Amino acid sequence: MPRLALTDRFVAGAKSENAPQTDYFDAKTPGLALRVTKGGHKAWTYIFTAYDTGKRTRASLGTYPALPLAAARTKAAEARAHLHDGADPRVVLNRRGAAEITVAELVARYCSDPDKAKLRSLHEIKRRLVVNALPTIGHIPLAKLTKPDVRDVTNKILRRGARTQAWHTHKDLNTMLNWAVSNDFLAHNPIEGMEVPGGFTAGERTLSAAEMQALWRVLPTALAKSKACQRVVKLCLITGQRLGEVAGMTRSELDLEKRLWSLPGARTKNKHQHAVPLSDMALAVIREALADAGKVSNAVFPAEDGGSLDAHVVTRAVARAHETSKERPKGRFGFNEWSVHDLRRTCLSGLAELGVEPHVIAHVANHRSLTKSGVTFAHYVQHSYEPEKRRALDLWADRLQAIIEKRGAAVVPMRRKR
């Protein structure tokens, strides 16, 4: 592992190019190391031999640039002094952490936790914390954080009319503070029991007919920089499938003649393969995307590197379109804030309103908690429900087309065969 006399200039430009992470050991301060990940995250650690196990271990000192080189050397020297006094530097540093680290430093530690790296939503969580919370409370020492401080954050978001963002940001802060408690940075969560802001709770937002009309009309201008994002949003509403599954669609998954999209288990949330019948409305969007994509990539929505479009690109584009101003008090879409996942909920709710039976809706959604619940469905009923799913999604596409065209929908609700 590299050992050198660290300088401010070196630390600022340090990279890990040939490994997931690289430790740079400071030749001037015994035990001090700068860990740099391939993604550019930089954290200071103190390496020592634990008295209780006799094994080499590390104590976290803080992240760069929140903790500069000089301060890191000072903290490493303090950790060494605690070790000489017979104390475990990790215990002492964690005990003092809440009094010393700021909310900004906690965000950096929380988002670099290896367990959190597994979250598909980590990028959006970090974006909300950095954009919405840190400008207001990032400088506050963790031990001094109060409910009014957090309320200042969410009130600022609410004044923009972004009620969903306020709800999500409060949830992110609360979850992070609970993590701080479980990792001994705090004795208790300072915002525990605080009233959750926002106009609705998770799982309740669906788009009205007027909002679907408006969405279809303004997509070309609201997401003007990316036709791919426009089409992904449309397909999420038409098919009711998850954003990551739609954005990652490949040519090899499609059978246009059979009007079928076959998702392998590796690409679904529950790891089970899933067949999605394609309505004429969905096929029209997909054919447009294929025509623009060309035949260079297998991806229907190719990214610059030739791979599939990252779902985060779509969520970021939608989030930017929701940003408000004096000229656009409700953002570029012109109506109350929504998330891409709300489009899936809107589709599935629309199927229910059209009389589609619950177990068919569950098959459309690939929700095995219902489709494979109990002995009968889990072991005896092997029917794929593809014809029922096709009728349901065709019915929804007809209804959606009628809504978009602002005409009365000639829709006959699905009825159980006698």
* pLDDT (tens digit per residue) in 83-125: 888 888 877 776 655 556 789 988 988 888 777 776 767 888 8
Task: Give the pLDDT score at 370.
Answer: 56
Q: Is residue 409 part of a domain?
A: no
> How sure is the predictor about 409, in pLDDT bands with cuts at 50, 70 and 90?
very low
Q: Same domain for 165 and 267? A: no
Tell me the pLDDT tens digit for each residue of 128-183.
999 999 999 998 988 889 999 999 999 998 887 777 788 889 999 999 999 888 77
Within 10 angstroms of residue 82's Cβ, the number of other Cβ atoms is 18
Which of 142, 177, 202 is the endpoint of a domain? 202
Domain encompassing residue 276:
209-404
Per-residue pLDDT at 64 exceeds 90:
no
Task: Give the pLDDT score at 375.
Answer: 42
Q: Is residue 86 part of a domain?
A: no
Nearest Cα neighbor of 51 from 88, 92, 80 is 88
Q: Same domain for 364 and 323? A: yes
Q: Is residue 89 part of a domain?
A: no
Which tokens is 176 given? 């992070």
Which tokens is 123 given? 């990028």
Which of 202, 225, 246 is the endpoint of a domain? 202
The span from the CA of 335 to the CA of 337, in Å, is 6
Q: Same domain for 278 and 190? A: no
Which of 153, 187, 202 is the endpoint of a domain? 202
Tell me the pLDDT tens digit for each residue of 195-220.
888 655 445 689 999 999 999 999 99
pTM for the whole thing? Answer: 0.56
Q: Is residue 285 part of a domain?
A: yes
Per-residue pLDDT at 324 exceeds 90:
no
Tell me the CATH number at 228: 1.10.443.10
Q: Is residue 85 part of a domain?
A: no
Tell me the pLDDT tens digit for each residue of 208-258.
999 999 999 999 999 999 999 999 999 999 999 999 999 999 999 999 999
- 103 touches 89 (CB < 8 A): no
Q: Is residue 158 part of a domain?
A: yes
Q: Same domain for 190 and 242? A: no
Q: Is residue 179 part of a domain?
A: yes
Task: Give the pLDDT score at 1.
Answer: 59
Q: Is residue 416 part of a domain?
A: no
Per-residue pLDDT at 417 exceeds 70:
no
- Tell me if residue 44 falls in helix, strand or coil: strand
Domain total in the chain: 3
Q: Same domain for 54 and 153? A: no
